[in-house]
Each structure stands twice: as structure tokens, then as C-alpha cells.
Amino acid sequence: MMQSARLHGWKWGIASLENSSGSIMKSLIEFYVGCSLKQLTPNELNNAAKFVSKHFYLIDSEESYSYKDMIRMAEELHTEKKIDGFFIDPYNALELDPTEYKLLGGHDYHYKVTTAFRKFCKKKDCCVYLNCHAVTEAARNVWTKDTAPEKDLAGHVRPPKKSDVEGGGKFANRADDFFII
């Protein structure tokens, strides 16, 4: 996000629902300057904060939101601030619509949600990055001395696969780009 803002002037909406706006702002400033806040002069901090405030619009994490709320807010930011991208972190922090969930079931509900995000992207020519956590089992899947491609990887967590995302492969199936970290 920072590189697209620096290189191309992109503007982003960020809904980081497990983090405070202050911690996100701090991280964005540090990404912008490439060092810790403690290393900045007041003038450098002020300039970095201005850049971040011009290119990033943070959604308050004190509230609970549904996917419909996210789309509504993204549409408002797109209209008012001309955002180029919207980042939601994490997907599992969004409130489920109990009526839709009960009617559709989990699998079809999540397909409906991801389809709604895709429609927003096409309609507004604005990307959505949806952060999904890996399932707990993926964090327990470690290299052994017999399976590690390099001996110093033994005991470390193996990289997760697309199918290790909570909710399974449907998220990869609905995405134009899929990164797993």
C-alpha cells in the first residue's frame, strides 16, 4: 500500500479491525520513512504524518462491521476521497449476517461476500485486499529434519498453502491476486 502511494499517488481506505488507528498510523509513518518514529525529528515526523493522512483513511476499529458496512464505507471513501484501494484486516473480524448465513450456509455465504467485493471492484475500478488468517493447523505444520529442504529450517513453520486459509480455497478462487504469507 505504501509503495503504491509513494510511487503512484494511490489513496487507501484501511479497516484494520484488530488494531488501533494509532498503531496503524505509526506503522504507516515508519513504512514511509523507513525507520522508527524515535529516530525522526519533529519536522520529519510532521511531513510523514501529512503524507500518510493524505493517502490513507483509517476506519475506526472500535465498532463492529459487516461486509455490507465495509462496501458502504469503501463506496463513500471512493466518492469523497477517490481511493484506489481498500484493505480489510482480517476477514474473520467482520460480523456475519445471521439471516443470510442461516439461509445460505457458510460456504455459499462466503462466496456471496467475496462476490460482493468483486462487484464493488469492477463497479468502482478500485481494488480490495481482504486479509484472511491461516487455520490453526497451518501454524502447527513444521518442517522436520527429514522434510526440510535445508537443515536449518527444521522446527520452523512451513509456508501455508492457499487451502490453509480459514474457509478454504474459495478465497483464492474468487481473487484476482492471492498472496499467502
pLDDT for the residue numbered 127? 96
Query: What confidence score (pLDDT) does residue 138 get?
Result: 82
58-99: pLDDT as tens digits: 998 888 999 999 999 999 999 999 999 999 999 999 999 999
What is residue 96's predicted lDDT score, i.e. its pLDDT?
95
Q: Determine the average pLDDT of the residues in 101-124.
A: 95
- pLDDT for position 21: 92
With 80 as the cut, is the pLDDT of residue 181 above it? no
> Which range among 33-37, 104-108, 137-141 shows the weakest confidence by mean pLDDT?
137-141
Is residue 43 pLDDT above 90, yes or no? yes
The yes-or-no verdict on residue 135 having pLDDT over 90 is no
Q: What HEC string does the chain produce?
A: CHHHHHHHCCCEEEEECCCCHHHHHHHHHHHHHCCCHHHCCHHHHHHHHHHHHHHEEECCCCCCCEHHHHHHHHHHHHHHHCCCEEEEECHHHCECCHHHHHHHCHHHHHHHHHHHHHHHHHHHCCEEEECCCECHHHHHCECCCCCCCCHHHCCCECCCCHHHECCCCHHHHHCCCCCCC
What integer pLDDT is reported at residue 2 of this predicted model? 97
Say what the pLDDT of residue 55 is: 98
pLDDT band at 180 (very low <50, low <70, confident <90, very high): confident
